[in-house]
Structure formats: C-alpha cells, structure tokens
Structure 1
Amino acid sequence: MNTSHAQFQAAFVDALFAPRERVDPSLRYLVEQPAFAVYRNTVMKGCIDALEANFPAVARLVGSEWFRAAAAVHVAAESPRDGRMLIYGDRFADFLCEFEPATELSYLPGVAQLDALWRESHAAQDAPALDATGLALVGSEAIGRLKAHPHPAARWAWFDALPVFSIWSRNRRGPDADDIDDAQAGELVWQGEGALLTRPADTVHWCAVPKAGCAFLDACAAGQPLTDAAEQALVIDPALDIAALFGTLLRVGAFASGSLPPVHSERTP
C-alpha cells in the first residue's frame, strides 16, 4: 500500500506540471475536474512567484511579464524537489542558456547565477570570519603554510568576456542606491568580471574580484596552503599584488576563523 500511495503521489505531482496529454491515464478523470485546474493554477503561480522572488535582478532586467512567461516554461519542466522554496530554481540559469527568447541576452544566465549565489550565501551556515587580528596570532613565517578555508557563506564566480557582475550589482541594488562605486556608476566595459559574495554577519555583501582572485579562492577551497594558492593566482596574473588581494579578502570576511591552527606556546621552561 505504501508503494501504491507513493506512486499515486508521484503521478499527482506530475499531473500538476505536465501537459494534459502526458498525464497518467489513470488520473485523467482527476485533471478534468474544475477544482483540479484551480489547484494546478495556484501551485503554478506559487512556483512562479518563488522564482521571481529568488531572481530579482533577472526580473528587473527583463520585466515582470517577460520573466513570468519564462518562469512558467521552466516550472513546467522543473517542478520543485524541496519544500523550501528559497532554494527553488537551482537550474534556472541553465534553463536561460537554452531559452530561445533569451538568446540575445547573453549576460542573463550569469545574472541568474549571481542571484542564486546570493541566496546560497544568505542561507549558509553562520561562522565567525577570519580577520587581521586573528591572523596576527599566526607567526609571519607560518602564514604561507596556513590553509585559509573559505567562509561557509562565501561564494565567487568568474565570467569571461561579459560584465555580469556590474549588470547584476546595478539591478540587485536598484538605480537609486547610494553605495555604487564610481567604476560601477560609469559606462559598462564589456570585458570579463568576477564576483565575490560574503556574509560574515547578518547581511550579504558583494565586491568585484579579479580572475586571479577567483583562482586563489579556488585553491584555498581545495585545501591548498596560502603559498600554493598564491602561486596559482600568479599564473593567471603575474603582476597581481597578493598581499593586497589577501587583505581585501580578509576585510570582506571571505575566510572562516576556523582556518587558524591551535596556538601553541613556544616558550621553553
């Protein structure tokens, strides 16, 4: 009976999202009921509303009407797999890559990816961030061997050839925001950009990060010590100021304080 009940539930969910011609024949009687159509429309609207809330920068760029039409197509193909609607839309950026009406909006999937990373950062585990004060506990000769693990809420991405971060940042903040820096306030330069999102406390913050900075963070996430991470970053950009980059990453809370090794006294009796 449990198997039968589970099969019915799966078929019922499929009937909510699939076109009528693909509905399980055993449920045709159900989908033809007016009440089912009302329920189906309510569920669809809830999913579309969730996508619009989860991807505000995308919705701002294309307008609500365009967004909701695209979201309806995505919902029909990708029903929620988790009751937490905050995480719904993990494949929306991939969908936009293949969505024909978005073909000319080459930056749109990247904007959707950053909206998704914002949600991940917002919902990530809390943890204290590593700062310069904590780092001072590590001897200067040992810093290069330190494995600085990214903060649980840190997210980063590099976008080749497109100013995705600038586009996303402007539309995530809104045109009246007073915290857009001079570089972002000017004309867009169509070149690659990187983005770093962090949440060392209660609010998600974001900043631009170079391609070499993304490589540095990738190496740290892979468990490599700072010296090796720096070497990988310098392969990307030999002129990179590693000290300045690391200082910026510390300031924005990109690393977890759990990166620090236990402090042992070096005093001898």
Structure 2
Amino acid sequence: MNQTVFRTALLDPMQPVPTGLTDGMGRPAGKRFSVYRNNVTVSLKDALETGFPATARLLGADNFETVSQGYLRSHPPKSPCMMFFGDNFASYIAAIPALKSLGYLPDIARLEYAIHLSYHAADGTALDPGRLADIAPQALNRARLNFSPAVQLIRSDWPIWAIREKALNANAPAPPGTAQPVLITRPQYDPVLHPLTRETAELITALQSGATLAKAMIRAPEADLGQLLALLLAQSALTDIDVEDLHDRPYPNLPSHR
C-alpha cells in the first residue's frame, strides 16, 4: 500500500479508508482503521496542547481543535520521536488569515517551542565566576562569551512573557503595553523564563553572535552589562569566556576601537 495515501488518510478524518486495507483476519479494516485514526489524531493533538499550553488557552478549545487538525494534516510528524514535534507550529499559525488580529500568537508559540528546545538541550558545564574575576579590566572589553546549549532568546514586539503568564494564570497581572523579549535559561532541570528590555535583548543577540563585550555594548549602549552578566552567571547560562588576543589582529600596533 502507498505509504503517502495511508498517512494522508490517517491524519484526515474526511479521507476514506485506504483501498485494500484489511485486518489480521483478512477482513476489510474500515472500523478498526477509524478507531486507530481517531487514537492517533487525539494523541498528536494532545501532544500539541501539552507543548503549547498558552497558545491553546489563547485560541480557546474549539479554535485550537480546528488549528491543530489543520496543522496535523499539513505537517505530520517527520519521525516517531516526538521530541521536536511542532517545530513549525508558529509559522503555521502566522499564515492563517483568520488569526492575523492576534499578532502576538505566533510569538507565543515560538516562545513555547523554545522552552521545549531548552528543556531537551545538551548539558553544558557552567562557567566558574572566578574566571571572569581573573580577567584584567583592560582586557575585559576584548572578552567573548560562550553560551550554554540550553539558552534561548525570543525577541518580540509584544509583551510575550506577560501574555503567556496571563494565559496560564488568570490572576497574573495584565500585560504591559511594551515589547518584552524573553531569555530562557536552564540552571538545573527545568527552563526558567526572564523578561527583558529591548536593549538587553539586543545586547544578548550581539554576544551570542560572537561580538566582544565592547562591540556588543556599542550595539546596545543603554543595556546594563553588569546586571546581565550577573544574571547569566547565576543561571549557569555561560560555559566559557575567551579574550581576544591583540596579536591576532592584522595590524596590532594600531589603536583599538573594539
């Protein structure tokens, strides 16, 4: 039997039972297939709801049912391993015309998938804070930070941290009217979410791209570098720190602008 036909019918209740499908006794498997199809669909829908709880709450039960059914039909799991199921759920939501008025919703889904990635990321050996203290002040500007694999940064024009909190807890404060990027760390076993300012998010973006501390501060001059470093160290979000060697420059005798 064509596997594509089988998979399409399995994830779409509107499709007929594939021709020639029989049970273990050689009888037409119509009823058994319908039961199996329903079980698979419910399991995948439940997996989406578990992975995207705030997204599901914001959509409401009926709308989430419709959205998840459409997503399952157009983006079936690529592997029996469900660890990364839902990787393009945010982009799928963003493409639905009826949801355009909920501009924050794709970013909430992106945030929830990033939490999932952080949880399943490889472990990293946390940087000893003493390493930072040992670097001479004049060399600190040339330092580059290495981040733990579990660290995730979600930038958004919406207050996504507060929106997610409100969706999961009706007693949470109302979201502010300003952007709220989110840093995700994993100091122990579970991811921890930290709401940020735009400037701090810009600073982290620069540092994650490999910029030295000095160059990163040029991109985000209003960010509090000391406060950010304290947070990253406390959350075991850094694994190493490297200081750029002046002799690695093509013209080492020229003044530095880093």
- Shorter-chain TM-score bucket reads 0.7 to 0.9
Q: Deviations over 1:73-130 (max 9, x none)?
A: 1111110012222321111111111224423322211111111011011111111223
- Name which of structure 1's ranges 117-126 and 217-226 shifts more when overlaid on structure 2: 217-226
Match for residue 231 of structure 2 among 237, 240, 248 = 248
Identity across aligned pairs (percent)?
28
1:259 aligned onto 2:241: yes
Show structure 1 runs of 5+ residues with no match: 1-6, 177-184, 262-269
Alpha-carbon distance between aligned partners in 2 of 1:32 and 1:86, rounded to the nearest angstrom: 31
Q: CA RMSD, aligned part only? A: 2.6
| 8 Å Cα contact 2:166-2:175 kept in structure 1 | no
1:214 aligned onto 2:221: no
Match of 1:165 in 2: 161
- Cα deviation for residue 134 of structure 1 reads 3.5
Alpha-carbon distance between aligned partners in 1 of 2:126 and 2:167, rounded to the nearest angstrom: 28
Alpha-carbon distance between aligned partners in 1 of 2:197 and 2:180, rounded to the nearest angstrom: 7
Match for residue 28 of structure 1 among 12, 19, 28 = 19
Show structure 2 runs of 5+ residues with no match: 22-27, 244-258
Match of 2:253 in 1: none
Match of 1:110 in 2: 107
| 8 Å Cα contact 1:48-1:71 kept in structure 2 | yes
Letter of the aligned partner of 1:50 in structure 2? A
| 8 Å Cα contact 2:132-2:241 kept in structure 1 | no
1:148 aligned onto 2:145: yes
Match of 2:77 in 1: 80
- Cα deviation for residue 19 of structure 1 reads 7.0
Alpha-carbon distance between aligned partners in 1 of 2:148 and 2:8, rounded to the nearest angstrom: 38
Alpha-carbon distance between aligned partners in 2 of 1:101 and 1:135, rounded to the nearest angstrom: 50
TM-score normalized with structure 1 length: 0.77
Alpha-carbon distance between aligned partners in 2 of 1:63 and 1:144, rounded to the nearest angstrom: 49
Match of 1:180 in 2: none
- Cα deviation for residue 205 of structure 1 reads 0.7
Match of 1:62 in 2: 59
Letter of the aligned partner of 1:253 in structure 2? S
| 8 Å Cα contact 1:150-1:217 kept in structure 2 | no
Shift in alpha-carbon separation, 1:36–1:230, aligned structure 2, 3 A: same
TM-score normalized with structure 2 length: 0.80
Aligned residues: 237
Higher relative contact order (CA 8 A, sep 6+): 1
Letter of the aligned partner of 1:121 in structure 2? S
Alpha-carbon distance between aligned partners in 2 of 1:59 and 1:86, rounded to the nearest angstrom: 19
Alpha-carbon distance between aligned partners in 2 of 1:50 and 1:78, rounded to the nearest angstrom: 14
